Structure 1
Amino acid sequence: MSNKETLTFSGTSARLDLFLSENKPDYSRGLIQNLIKQGKVTVNGKERKPAWPLAEGDNVEIEWPSVENKTGLKDLIIFEDKNMFVINKPSGMLVHPQSPVWEENPAAAFIGEETLVSLILANPPKNFEKGITRAGLVHRLDKDTSGVMIIAKNSKTQDAMVEMFANREMHKTYEAIVCGVVPDDKGIINVPIGRVTGGKIKASELGREAVTEYSVLQRKETVSLMKLHPVTGRTNQLRVHMSWLGYPVLGDWLYKGATAPRLMLHSKSAEFEHPFTSKPVKFTVAPPKDFKDSWKNAK
């Protein structure tokens, strides 16, 4: 479905993109320019460029596209109660739109590619709190990382889970295929990381504390299958740490991993005390077929 809206320009002259940005402040100028370039905006029925000068009385029609969800949220859910649900996120799915506009205006989540957030907002699970901050997210996974992910259904649970992550009470385990033969059976990487120069996140003394525990599950001639536990939860931590160690994750183009069908990183399990029952819970999903095939076919 799409939502069409028509605005009439009144004034001497203005660029098309500036006019829409001023009249639709909830959407970034970049997002509006993309809609114009995609042909989702017309002036008097004709497609125009972002810099097109508007004249008095011009009718500007915007087609706000909705994401056509190809994935059913219920097909991803592996556990659900009245306070939270746990999914097996597929590789290739963004957790949320790259532009932060959606946090203030949820409608923006339906512009662009399918994301986990758009799935949740389009068809929320039972007992999902309307208007909950960040659609209930308490953590995230990279687009190409697969596996266990937890989403809160209400603000009380969200606050409790965020605090749990902050206090390092969430034990997460990943599996990764890395380039090279890691010599030590196990070890700890305690190396600060951060985006210290405005570029990509990397290991740096000026970064924030980051600790990763690792162990080798299997080795081949050119790759190793790893078990990784992030003690801290920094963005891109496992990818940065394995690259720093000299064994980047297979398929990690950003940190110089060898080419692969996708980033070979999988969130295998999450273990914690339920915030309201205090009972220990653990959710586990095996790596998907593409991950297993990459390991099987590696030399």
Structure 2
Amino acid sequence: MTFTVKIQNPYSAETVKELLEDYLLIPRKIRHFLRIKKNITINGETINWQTPIKKGDLVELTFEDDDYPQKDISLGNQKYVDCLYEDEHLIIVNKAEGMKTHANQPNEIALLNHVSAYAGTTCYVVHRLDKETSGAVVFAKNPFILPILNRMLEKKQIKREYWALVQGCFLKTRCTYTDKIGRDRHDPRKRIVNSQYGKKAITQVTLLQHYANSSLIKCHLQTGRTHQIRVHLAHHKHAIIGDPLYGQKISPRLMLHAYQLSFTHPLTLEKIKVTASSKTFKQGIPDK
């Protein structure tokens, strides 16, 4: 897979070496290929590894098959893609509830397959949403930007806001859950609060609206554990309505929606903010 990346350098790196290592996170082996094949230019000129680079310089990187071997997946149907944002490097889409983010079996078709058909290239999962959850999710359109987005996710530089309709009424308008989360050894599908062996998990909750027997809340994740919001809320007696694993399926769908996603684009420093709508989520919210 040969592809070229052009960047109007937005960083304050001092040399080409620093740009590739510290900002673009290009692995050592691929940096070596770029250098010996002269597949990197600055403002149209081939360069030395210690060449100074200025903000605004045009950086052109050409990657070949040896750099990033082609990963082939079955293409889905682009009509299932609700695109919220797209450029040459990444795409953000609005996932419908009931659809897997990526396939778990060779013959499965999931959102990743549909997004790849829509984008016209094999895409890569940056983060996932549970099958039952709807809303905004990010995919990388090439393997070059994938580790950059992964680092941003690890450093909490991609902000994710979820809306949930939960059982009961919150006594506080704001709270933070910090219960550690681990696997449920009795059910491989589930996670549980485990203060001794669980992993760090932080969920910030803000009350949006009270109803007769439920509450509409928004949640911000500081960590990304599997089923984190669902486990935290159920543990504190506010199971998400329609949750078949941690509550009662008293709704046609799990009432959890990835409502908003925001971050600074790592290659342009543009501020990206998208909001995902969901008719089925709105239909599940009671009248005031």
TM-score, L = length of structure 2: 0.69
Q: Which residue of 2 aligns with 1:36?
A: none
Q: Which residue of structure 2 lines up, in the alignment, with residue 147 of structure 1? A: 135
Letter in 1 for 2:96: P
Question: Secondary structure of the equivalent of 1:291?
Answer: helix
Shift of the 185–153 alpha-carbon distance from structure 1 to 2, 3 Å rule, reads same
Distance 1:261 1:196, change over 3 A: closer
| SS of the residue 2:283 aligns to | helix
The structure with the greater share of residues assigned to helix is: 1
Q: Name the residue aligned to 1:137.
A: 125
Match of 1:272 among 256, 263, 266: 263
Q: 2:259 aligns to what SS in structure 1?
A: strand
Alignment match of 2:95 (pick from 81, 86, 89): 89
- Paired position in structure 2 for 1:72: 79
User: SS at the partner of 2:212?
Assistant: coil
The alpha carbon displacement at 1:258 in A equals 4.8
Partner of 1:125 in structure 2? 119
Question: Does 2:285 correspond to 1:295?
Answer: yes
Runs of 4 or more, structure 1, over 6 Å off, are none
Q: How far apart are residue 180 of structure 1 and its match?
A: 0.9
CA deviation vs aligned residue, 1:263-288 (integer Å, no higher than 9, x gap): 000001111111111222111123x1
Determine which structure has greater relative contact order: mean sequence separation of CA pairs < 8 Å that are 6+ residues apart, divided by chain length: 2
* Cα deviation, residue 156, structure 1: 1.9
What letter matches 2:176 in structure 1? I
Tell me what 1:204 maps to.
194
C-alpha displacement of 1:198 = 5.9
Whichever residue aligns with residue 201 of structure 1, its letter is R
Q: Match of 1:156, SS? A: coil
CA distance in 2, matches of 1:187, 1:125: 40
Aligned to 1:259: 250
How do 1:5-20 residues align onto structure 2 when only pairs under 5 Å count?
Answer: none
Q: Secondary structure of 1:72's partner?
A: helix
* CA distance in 1: counterparts of 2:129 and 2:265, whole angstroms: 21
Q: Which has the larger radius of gyration?
A: 1
CA contact (8 A) 1:190 1:209 kept: yes
**Residue deviations 1:21-73 (CA, integer Å, cap 9, x gap):** xxxxxxxxxxxxxxxxxxxxxxxxxxxxxxxxxxxxxxxxxxxxx98956615
Report the 3-state secondary structure (helix = DSSP H, G, I; strand = E; otherwise coil) of the residue aligned with 1:188: strand
What one-letter code is carried by the residue in structure 1 that aligns with 2:84? I
1: CA distance, partners of 2:137 / 2:115: 13
Shift of 1:292: 1.2
Hey, what's the Cα distance between the residues in 1 that align with 2:186 and 2:267? 40
Q: Which amino acid aligns with 2:103?
A: P
Residue type at the aligned position of 1:180: G
Point out where structure 2 has 5 or more consecutive residues left out of the alignment: 1-72
For 2:186 and 2:141, the matched residues in 1 are separated by 34
| Inter-partner Cα distance in structure 2 for 1:236 and 1:120 | 23
Does residue 168 (structure 1) correspond to residue 130 (structure 2)? The answer is no
Q: Secondary structure at the match of 1:149?
A: strand
Structure 2 residue corresponding to 1:223, chosen from 191, 196, 214: 214
CA contact (8 A) 1:179 1:258 kept: no
How far the C-alpha of 1:84 sits from its partner, in A, is 0.4
Amino acid at match of 1:72: K
**Aligned equivalent of 1:116:** 111
Change (3 A) 1:71 1:257: farther
**How many correspondences in the alignment?**
213
Q: Do the aligned partners of residues 198 and 273 (structure 1) sit closer, same or farther apart at CA in structure 2, a change above 3 Å counting?
A: farther
TM-score of the aligned structures, taking structure 1 as reference length: 0.67
The 1-side partners of 2:139 and 2:248 are apart by: 30
